[in-house]
Amino acid sequence: MKPIRLGFDTYTLRAFNWKALQLLDYAASRKLDTIQFSSMDDYESLDAAHLGQVKDRAAGLGIAIDAGMGCICPLSYSWTPKNGDPQENILRGLRTAKSVGATSMRCYLGSSDDRFGAADGRPPQPIEKLMESTIQVFKSVRGAAQDLNVKIALENHAGDMQAREVRTIVEEAGKDYVGACLDTGNPMWVAEDPLLALEVLAPYVVTTHVRDSAICEHPRGAAAQWVALGDGCIDFAQFMARYRELCPQAGMQLEIITGRPPRVVPYLEPEFWKVLPHANAGEFARFAALARKGHAFSGFMVVEDGFKNPPPEYKAALREQQRVDLERSLNYAKTVLGVGMHG
């Protein structure tokens, strides 16, 4: 059986403010096979010389690169004017991916603000409208993506879409140049079992964001919290068995996001379902079962959300937590799940 390549998404170590060459050296020090650059801000510049240096460093270290960028839907609350023209924005990402030797480029539609409404009072948006906008953006660069041989990898991101909706975009835009970035933490926010998301998206998965979640029942429905691999409730032995069966070609990029408090998924409240009108009862039952047999996180964690200007001591603790939790998770993936080509 061919080993699953193991790496990490660079957002995991965001507090270090490292750039691509430093991140590659760190990945090499952990004996990893691959890395996903989460954002084009990971590069010191987008000049051809620097991108070529990144490509050469990765090749010399034997590390495969998955590229990435942010929001590509101009209708999303996550879109910013600095992105410029939507077509040029995604073309910039595709060309950058090609320049560093990547064959995939992760991106996303939006976030839970689009689906459920934003904290500042902006209302929920019809997700179908944003999906259609995303499809049109993808279609506008179809020829370029094919010429560059870089596949767009659309993420199920932060509560914007359920897996079936991501699959719809892939199939309607064109599976020959669009695939999926499977995130195992984000299904929680749309009342979806991560294993179900894997099964739905598996034919199109080209890269991943893998992390664990602690989930339990709550008076309003469920509460979930992202944790290091092995600290949560996801049955990763079962997940890996299905992963090896369904999409062994995709590397496993750990995106470990700790330091955030539990979040309520209020599926017992009618308002929650108004923005999920096409949710499948059988699929939801799997999520409800996951919450019913799950548990809250009871370990140690420094929580970063809510701090606008934390003191230096807290910043140092949060930074170290990111490194420790990633390295614990990498060790779990290697020793418990048997992932990775190197020791």
pLDDT tens digits for range 184-243 = 999 999 999 999 999 999 999 999 999 999 999 999 999 999 999 999 999 999 999 999
Instruction: Round to the nearest angstrom and report the end-to-end CA distance of the chain.
Output: 16
Domain assignment of residue 1, yes or no: no
Place of tokens 């308002």: 271
In a domain, 323, yes or no: yes
Q: Would you say residue 341 lies in a domain?
A: no
Closest CA to 38 of 183, 232, 147: 183
Answer yes or no: are the C-beta atoms of 15 and 318 closer than 8 Å. yes
Report the C-alpha gap between 67 and 162 in whole angstroms: 23
Domain that includes residue 40, residue range? 6-335
Radius of gyration of the chain (CA): 19
**Domain tally, the chain:** 1
**Cα–Cα distance for residue pair 16/211, rounded to 1 Å:** 20
Quote the CA–CA distance of 125 and 122 in Å, as a whole number.
9
Calculate the alpha carbon distances from 151 to 69, 97, 121, 191 in Å.
Answer: 13, 10, 36, 28
pLDDT score, position 343: 59
Separation CA 46–CA 67 (nearest Å):
13
Q: Rounded to 5 degrees, what angle do the CA atoms 126, 225, 12 make?
A: 90
For residue 308, the model assigns a pLDDT of 74
Q: What is the DSSP track for 157-225? A: -TTS--HHHHHHHHHHH-TTTEEEEEESSGGGGGT--HHHHHHHHGGGEEEEEB-EEEEEEETTEEEEE
CA angle 136, 139, 140 (to 5 degrees): 90
- What's the confidence (pLDDT) of residue 98? 98
pLDDT, one tens digit per residue, over 55-92 is 999 999 999 999 999 999 999 999 999 999 999 999 99
Q: Residue 340: inside a domain, yes or no? A: no
Contact 244, 203 (CB under 8 A): no
Which segments in the chain show pLDDT lower than 70?
Answer: 306-307, 343
Domain CATH code at residue 251: 3.20.20.150
Single pTM value for the model:
0.97
pLDDT for residue 310: 81
